[in-house]
Amino acid sequence: MLQEHGQREVFCGLAAIVWLHRKIQDAFFLVVGSRTCAHLIQSAAGVMIFAEPRFATAILDERDLAGLADCHDELDRVVAQLLARRPDIGTLFLVGSCPSEVLRLDLDKAAERLSAAHQGRVRVLSFSGSGLDTTFTQGEDTCLEALVANLPAAPADDSAWLVVGTLAETIEDQFARLFAELGIGPVRFLPPRRAADLPPVGPRTRFLLAQPYLGATARALIARGATHVPALFPLGIEGTREWLRAAAVAAGVDMDRFERVIAAPVARAEQGLARYRDWLAGKRISFLPDSQLEIPVARFLSRECGMEPIEIGVPYLDRQAMAGELPLVPDRVRLVEGQDLDTQLDRVRAARPDLTVCGLGLANPLEAEGLRTKWSIELVFTPIQGFDQVGDLAELFARPLIRQARLVA
């Protein structure tokens, strides 16, 4: 594995708010940061015309950063105005856009103070979405880690399962049905659809990670006494099958029953994948580091779609989370942790893969050079986990190739 240090091109961790505020329906995310942070959130989320979004920015200006204004008083005033305007808020997240040394404000202590001041009205939590501390998807990790500290203690006889990681509601419902058919339960999800419905956790709680970038959350759950059940991530037929199998083995489910339950979903997944396999087979692909989904997605594209990964770049490598995935990556693939942007772009230009997975800021320049690209952010915003989404996952990568063929024709 190659480790690189240099200029990075990754999305800011604040972007996680865009999918978190849609999933946790009674929460509000107040970013404490600059006008630049406000513009980022607005750009990442798009223009919402028909509904008032549940995120905003408390803007710090030069007086605040120079210590000429009392940031605590200003924050208290903004929070009071927000809660008066939005009485539906059940949990308020204070999101730091920079480390506390830069903000000159300890958001952890501010959250404790505001929770006490508004006790019974709203729960106030804090986490960091700083682009200096976190990569694109780590904002979710720091958010869920903050939630874990506030999960209620489970009763001593509560043998529950927890699926950890933000999932689209349709996928959550599909997984819940499969677990029920397997006789595994009760199964709860973190984050919940309402922050007021936090799942309990205790020594008899077992959890599966649905997303590969939740290392801090996993460690926080283990510290609360929960047990991690390691597995591949539920991407593709192989990944979803092994993810469910890990739970089934841990729960003592008969394997004949397991095969009967997954037979129909696997058949649907094979049918969905067949439509795109010919477009993908034999095509060469490179991943620039961005979403932390690069390794399991490359495993799916290589083993199930016949693509040839040339290079897999990851912002950082969590070897514990990727313990099952790494042995399935082809030996000939260059695996890169970190980024030296110019060097990586030189390798892409030299290899000229059929498809390059990268962030938004690099896609258009590479397209202008005649290289087909796929936005890595789509892997987060598109429902891709589980059997019924296998065809959709393959289509994400086939679509640029199909478009290119049609343009040439």
- Does 8 score more than 80 pLDDT? no
- Can you tell me whether residue 394 is helix, strand or coil? helix
Q: What local confidence, expressed as pLDDT, does residue 2 receive?
A: 84
Instruction: Summarize pLDDT for 238-293 with one digit per residue, the tens.
Output: 999 999 999 999 999 999 999 999 999 999 999 999 999 999 999 999 999 999 99
**Could you tell me if 288 and 186 lie in one domain?**
no
- Write the CB contacts of 205 (distance below 8 Å, at least 6 apart in sequence): 154, 158, 159, 160, 161, 162, 221, 224, 225, 226, 227
Of 226, 256, 286, the last residue of a domain is 256
Phi, psi of 197 (to 5 degrees): -105, 50
Let me know whether 287 and 389 are in one domain.
yes
Does 57 reside within a domain? Answer: yes
Which residues are registered as beta bridge partners of 373? 356
Instruction: Tell whether 365 and 237 lie within a shared domain.
Output: no
Structure tokens at 155: 């009763």
pLDDT at 158 over 50: yes
Q: Do residues 226 and 345 share a domain?
A: no
12 is in an annotated binding site: yes
Q: Look up the CATH number of the domain holding residue 341.
A: 3.40.50.1980
Q: Against a cut of 0.85, is the pTM above it?
A: yes
Q: How confident is the model at residue 68 (pLDDT cuts 50, 70, 90)?
A: very low
pLDDT in tens, 218-236: 999 999 999 999 999 999 9
334 pLDDT above the threshold of 90: yes
**Do both 327 and 297 map to the same domain?**
yes
Strand 161-164: give its sheet, edge to edge: 187-190, 161-164, 206-209, 227-228
321 and 368 inside one domain: yes
Whether residue 172 is found in the same domain as residue 123: no
Q: How far apart are the first and last CA of the chain?
A: 40
Beta strands per DSSP E along 53-153: 55-59, 91-96, 123-128
The average confidence (pLDDT) of the chain is: 89
Does the residue 141 lie in any domain? no
* pLDDT, greater one: 295 or 65: 295
Asked if residue 409 has pLDDT above 60, the reply is: yes
Any domain includes 246: yes
The answer on 282 and 233 residing in a single domain is no
Confidence band for 357, pLDDT divided at 50, 70 and 90: very high
Band of pLDDT at residue 49, cut at 50, 70 and 90:
very low
- CA-based max dimension of the chain: 69
Same domain? For 83 and 194 the reply is no
In this prediction, residue 133 has a pLDDT band, given cuts at 50, 70 and 90, of low
| Nearest one of 93, 129, 87, 90 to 111, comparing CA atoms | 93
Q: Which of 228, 256, 284 is the last residue of a domain?
A: 256
Q: Do 197 and 89 belong to one domain?
A: no
Summarised one tens digit per residue, pLDDT across range 381-397 is: 899 999 999 999 999 99
Residue 62 structural domain: 8-134
* pLDDT tens by residue, 164-173: 999 999 999 9
Q: Are residues 57 and 29 in the same domain?
A: yes
What is the C-alpha to C-alpha distance for residues 300 and 110, in angstroms, rounded to an integer?
44
Please tell me the predicted confidence (pLDDT) of residue 121.
Answer: 85
pLDDT band at 312 (very low <50, low <70, confident <90, very high): very high
Q: Which of 83, 116, 134 is the last residue of a domain?
A: 134
Q: What pLDDT shows up at residue 250?
A: 97
More confident call, 210 vs 138: 210
Angle of helix 294-303 relative to helix 236-251, nearest 10 degrees?
Answer: 110
Distance of CA 329 to the CA centre of its chain: 21
Residue 118's pLDDT is what?
Answer: 87
Provide the pairing of β-strand 308-314 with 334-338.
parallel
Q: Write down the pLDDT at residue 119.
A: 80
Residue 44 lies in a domain: yes
Q: Is 37 annotated as a binding residue?
A: yes
Share of the chain above pLDDT 90, in %: 62
Indicate whether 319 belongs to any domain: yes
More confident residue, 45 or 170: 170
Number of structural domains, the chain?
A: 3
Q: Where are the alpha helices (DSSP H) in 281-304?
A: 294-303
Is residue 3, in this structure, part of any structural domain at all? Answer: no
Confirm whether 70 is domain-assigned: yes
Domain presence at residue 140 = no
Q: Which of 97-111, 144-158, 192-206 has the lowest mean pLDDT?
A: 97-111
In the chain, count of helices (H) and strands (E)?
A: 16, 14
Same domain, 282 and 397: yes
User: Per-residue pLDDT for 50 more than 50?
Assistant: no
State residue 102 phi and psi, 5-degree precision. Answer: -80, -45
- Whether 317 has a pLDDT exceeding 70, the answer reads yes
